[in-house]
Amino acid sequence: MTVERCIKSIIEQEFKEWELIAIDDHSKDSTRAKLEEYSKLDNRIRSVRNQGKGIVDALNYGISIAKSEIIVRMDSDDEMLPARLGCQLEFLEKNRNVGLVGCAVRYCVENKSDFFGRGYSFYVDWSNQIFNYRQIQIHQFEESPFAHPSVAFRKTLTLEHGGYKNGSFPEDYELWLRWISKGVKMEKLKACLLNWYDAEDRLSRVGERYSQEAFQKIKAKYLNLWLEERMLKSRNICAWGAGKVASKQSKFLIKEGVLIERYYDINPRKIGKTLKGRKIFPINEISRSRNEFIIVLTGTRDAKPEIIEYLCKKQLKIGLDFIFLA
C-alpha cells in the first residue's frame, strides 16, 4: 500500500516533534485498519475519519483539529525526504513574514509507458524553477506554482483568509490564488524534499475540478481581481494568441469583465480575422505607445521564452505590461 510508504517517510523524518493526522476519507479497502495499526504503534499518529466527504472536507477537518500552528500538507501516495519537515519549519521560523513555503519535488512514475505522465513531468520541470515570491506572483496564472503535497503553511492563514473551498475548481490552486490576492507572502525552497508519485487513478487526473476548463475559470476570476487591484483595466487590454486555448480562455475572461480590445498572433492565416468580435493583428503592431497590457494566452510551453524576449525588446516588462495566462 502506498500509504505505508508515506507514513514510513514521515516516521523517518530527521525532525521528530511532529503530529500526523491521518484522515480516512470513507475508504473501502484496508486503509482504515492500517492507519489504526500505525496509531497504536506511534502516539504521534492520530487516525481519524473524515467528518464530511471528499478532499476539501478532509483537509479542513484535519486543519481544525491540528495542534500545531504549522500545517504540512501530504498525500497518502507520496514520500517525504528525511530533511523535509526540518527544512520547512526552520524556514518559517526564520521568516515570520512568509505564510507558506513549498519545495522542489521529484516526479515519480511506476511501471508506465514513456508517454504516460509527460504533461505532469513538464509541469514539475516548470514548477521547480519558480522559487521566490516575485516569481510566484508573476507566474501564478500560468499553472499552480506549488505541488499541493509539498507545502507547509501557518494555520492562522485559514482563520484570516479562509481555508479550502468546495467548488468546480482545483481546491489547492484556488487557495494559493486567493491567499496571494490577500497579500500572503509565499516562497519555495530549492531543495527537493518530496517524491511526488503519479498514477492513472490520481484524483487530479480523474476529477472534474481539475479539468482544463476548471483551471481556466479560476484563472480568469483571479486575474480580473489582479488587474483591478493594480488599476490595469484602464489600459488597453490585449491578448497574444488566437488559437483554441486562447478562445476558450477569452470566454471566461469576458464573463469576469476582462474586455480584450484586440488579439495578436504570429499565424498569417489568422491576421485580419476576428475572435470574440475583436480583430486579430500581427505581433509587430504591438506598441508601447498604445498603453497596452498584454495577456499571453498561447498554450505552447516552448514559445514562452521567445515571447518574453520579443515583448521585452518592445520595452514591455513582465508583471507590469504583460503576463502569462497559459
169-186 residue pLDDT tens: 999 999 999 999 999 999
Q: What structural domains and CATH numbers belong to the chain?
A: 2-210 (3.90.550.10), 230-324 (3.40.50.720)
Count CA within 13 A, CB hemisphere, residue 24.
18
Residues contacting residue 196 through CB under 8 Å, at least 6 positions apart: 78, 105, 106, 107, 108, 124, 147, 149, 150
Residue in 277, 315, 317, 275 with CA at minimum distance from that of residue 298: 275
- Please answer whether residues 203 and 55 qualify as being in contact, where contact means their C-beta atoms are separated by less than 8 angstroms: yes
Residues facing 46 on adjacent strands: 21
How far is Cα 216 from Cα 102, in angstroms, rounded to an integer? Answer: 23
pLDDT for residue 213: 95
pLDDT for residue 302: 81
Q: Residue 58 is placed in which grid cell?
A: 478532509
Distance (Å) of CA 159 to CA 63, 83, 202: 10, 28, 29
257 burial via Cβ count (<10 Å: 0-12, 13-18, 19+): exposed
Instruction: Please state whether beta strands 292-296 and 152-154 pair in parallel, antiparallel, or not at all (unpaired).
Output: unpaired
Q: What is 170-215 written as a DSSP string?
A: -HHHHHHHHHHHTT--EEEEEEEEEEEEE-TT-HHHH-GGGSHHHH
Residues in the chain: 326
- Please answer whether residues 325 and 295 qualify as being in contact, where contact means their C-beta atoms are separated by less than 8 angstroms: yes
> Can you tell me whether residue 243 is helix, strand or coil?
coil
pTM, two decimals, is 0.94
Maximum distance among all alpha carbons in the chain? 70
85 burial via Cβ count (<10 Å: 0-12, 13-18, 19+): buried
Residue in 84, 94, 64 with CA at minimum distance from that of residue 18: 84
How far is Cα 240 from Cα 261, in angstroms, rounded to an integer? Answer: 11
pLDDT in tens, the chain (326 residues): 689 999 999 999 999 999 999 999 888 888 899 999 999 999 999 999 999 999 999 999 999 999 999 999 999 999 999 999 999 999 999 999 999 999 999 999 866 655 555 668 899 999 999 999 999 999 999 999 999 999 999 999 999 999 999 999 999 999 999 999 999 999 999 999 999 998 765 555 556 888 999 999 999 999 999 999 999 999 999 999 999 999 999 999 999 999 999 999 999 999 999 999 999 999 999 999 999 999 999 977 788 999 999 999 999 999 999 999 98
pLDDT for residue 252: 97
Residue in 137, 141, 142, 183 with CA at minimum distance from that of residue 160: 183
